[in-house]
């Protein structure tokens, strides 16, 4: 859990409705946690996902890789740690890992690749890059 690769972290508590009949958080819900952490990270840089959408610029996910290490259960506390790097000209790669709290047990290791689109066409993320300090 070296801090150096992460530039943002956000704490959550598991909500019971996020658990499925196996009694653990349903796999898809981790993508919700990751998405919310990315959007809060962007907001911390002054970038609003929903406002960008209204302005015609959509940030989209083109690929996710998630390794499920250990399941979260009812009422567990956890942190989503997020780092970001550029890849090539137009792609952004979010490194996102989830750790249970307080014991820092690894829950999820994820890599999420994103791109910017306007009217469904890929575009250069432009000044987003600058605002993200990349």
Catalytic site positions: 20
3-state secondary structure 6-32: CCEEEEEECCHHHECCCCEECHHHHHH
Q: Would you count residue 53 as binding a copy of itself (CB under 8 A)? A: yes
Q: Would you count residue 105 as binding a copy of itself (CB under 8 A)? A: no
* Residue 73 or 131 having the CB closest to a copy of itself: 73
Q: Report d(CA 119, CA 13) in Å as an integer.
A: 36
The piece of 53-61, 89-97, 99-107, 122-130 that touches a copy of itself (CB under 8 A) is: 53-61
Strand, coil or helix: 100: strand
Q: Would you count residue 119 as binding a copy of itself (CB under 8 A)? A: no
Q: Would you count residue 60 as binding a copy of itself (CB under 8 A)? A: yes
Q: Would you count residue 7 as binding a copy of itself (CB under 8 A)? A: no
Q: Report d(CA 95, CA 75) in Å as an integer.
A: 25
Output the DSSP codes for 31-88: HHHHHHHHHHHHHHTT--HHHHHHTTEEEEEEEEEEEE-S--BTT-EEEEEEEEEEET
Q: Report d(CA 78, CA 80) in Å as an integer.
A: 7
Q: What is the nearest approach in angstroms of a copy of itself to the Cβ of residue 83?
A: 19
Q: Would you count residue 19 as binding a copy of itself (CB under 8 A)? A: yes
The piece of 1-9, 72-80, 89-97, 99-107 that touches a copy of itself (CB under 8 A) is: 72-80
- Judged by the rule CB under 8 A, the positions of this chain that interact with a copy of itself are 15-17, 19-23, 26-29, 31-32, 35-36, 39, 43, 48-50, 53, 58, 60-68, 71, 73-75
């Amino acid at each position: 859990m070296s801090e150096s690769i992460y530039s943002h972290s956000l704490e959550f508590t598991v909500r019971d409705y996020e658990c499925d009949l196996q009694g653990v958080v349903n796999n898809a819900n981790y993508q919700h946690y990751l998405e919310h952490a990315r959007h809060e990270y962007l907001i911390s840089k002054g970038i609003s996902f929903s406002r960008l959408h209204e302005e015609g610029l959509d940030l989209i996910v083109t690929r996710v890789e998630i390794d499920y290490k250990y399941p979260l259960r009812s009422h567990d506390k956890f942190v989503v740690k997020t780092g970001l790097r550029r890849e090539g000209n137009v792609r952004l790669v979010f490194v996102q890992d989830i750790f249970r709290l307080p014991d820092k047990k690894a829950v999820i290791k994820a890599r999420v690749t994103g791109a910017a689109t306007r009217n469904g066409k890929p575009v250069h993320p432009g000044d987003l890059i600058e605002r993200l300090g990349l």
